[in-house]
Structure 1
Amino acid sequence: MKNLIVAVLLLMGGSAFAQASYGIKGGLNYGATGEYENYSQVAGDVSTIENGKSKTGYHLGLFGKFEILGFFLQPELVYTKLNTEYENFDYNISKIDAPILLGVNLLGPLHIKAGPSFQYILKNELENSSRDISDVENPITLGYQLGVGVNLGRVGLDLRYEGGLKENNAFGEMATDNNIKIDSRPSQWILGLSYTF
């Protein structure tokens, strides 16, 4: 009896882990980074705080999917380009995202997923401005993603929301005595199309 239970557990474990797949994905992002602050270097007081306007960006990457007893684990490695419009300039970020999502299959091809998302900022820069911006304080940060998706054969479509957990500022100087600070945390919607091999 004991050997039968062990054999059944091994078969269940083997069949669960046998449902592994991988693929490619890409799509559009719509969102913005955090607040822009223009503050006096002398007084130390914040003189201007501005929220960025959302713009469209894009992402491209790879994913794996491991189904276990009705649940699945989906790690990804994705290149993301994010743009934000402020009053006098645009702020552009290029980053590598590594979300690790836990999901569950619902009715038919529908599923939901959520989890942490690590990001490594490759480059951040100001566009349409003579100002310079420093690198972000922390090149690697942690955020989160949550969303819903549908799989139609090998093709998948999902919609997610991504947010940041902690401020990650980049700093710059103006020609006057004022400094600037931009919170690089993303707050964006992600529409993705995937293909499983």
Structure 2
Amino acid sequence: MKKISLLLVVAALFVASAAQAQLSVGLKGGLNFNSADVSGGDVDSKTGYHIGAYAVIKAGPIGIQPEAYFSVQNLSTDAEDYDLSYIQVPVLLRLGILKVLYLNAGPQFGFNTKAEYGGVDYKDELKGMDTSIALGAGLDLPMGLGAQVRWVKGLSNAAEDGGDWKNSIVQLSVTFALIGKS
């Protein structure tokens, strides 16, 4: 009987905390400042963009922030440009610091959708998935608006042939909550 009572108390606490959880869903977009560490090559930064959607599931100051967005991550060399695109899927832990300020961190999984070098398909030279770590901060502004800054550092080698290629991005984003508040 004591086990059943304890189980019911734990279940009631779980249901009560889940009822307090807040959900928001919205759109995001912004600029990418791309770079990469590439062995045997000198690549320069180029500006790209990203656009997609996010969700935030919060219980108090702590939450989870999954996202999915299309990201253009071009780079340039002395000879030609790399035209790269990914579908990025970060799953971030979110920690509210003040009412409007939060920090987030977590893994990001990038799925290569385009890779060209000088207009020639280069996709077979890169792996289909790029794993990164994302660290950032954001502001929840009035009227469902928000702003984010994020640093994304590649953890996995993006090169298929054994060379070393790790992507790195600094992102500036604007968000707009469609459902709930960010």
Work out whether the TM-score is over 0.5.
Answer: yes
Aligned residue for 2:26? 23
2 CA distance for matches of 1:3 and 1:55?
A: 56
| Structure 1 residues 144 and 2: CA distance shift in structure 2, 3 A | closer
Aligned residue for 2:167? 186
Count of aligned residue pairs for this structure pair? 173
2 CA distance for matches of 1:8 and 1:99?
A: 31
Q: Out of 114, 127, 151, which is 1:161 matched to? A: 151
Q: Runs ≥4 in structure 1, deviation > 4 angstroms? A: 1-8, 181-184
SS of aligned partner of 1:63: strand
Name the aligned partner's letter for residue 189 of structure 1: V
1 CA distance for matches of 2:98 and 2:157?
A: 38
Asked if the contact 2:85/2:114 (under 8 Å) is kept, the reply is: yes
Asked if the contact 2:38/2:166 (under 8 Å) is kept, the reply is: no
CA drift at 1:31:
1.7
> How high is the sequence identity, in percent, across the aligned residues?
29
Asked if the contact 1:123/1:135 (under 8 Å) is kept, the reply is: no
Name the aligned partner's letter for residue 192 of structure 1: S
2 CA distance for matches of 1:9 and 1:166?
A: 40
Q: Out of 110, 113, 116, which is 1:125 matched to? A: 116
Under a length normalisation based on structure 2, what TM-score does the superposition of the two structures give?
Answer: 0.84
Comparing both structures, which one devotes a greater share of its residues to helix? 2
1 CA distance for matches of 2:121 and 2:175?
A: 37
Unaligned runs of 5+ in 1: 38-49, 172-180
Under a length normalisation based on structure 1, what TM-score does the superposition of the two structures give?
Answer: 0.78
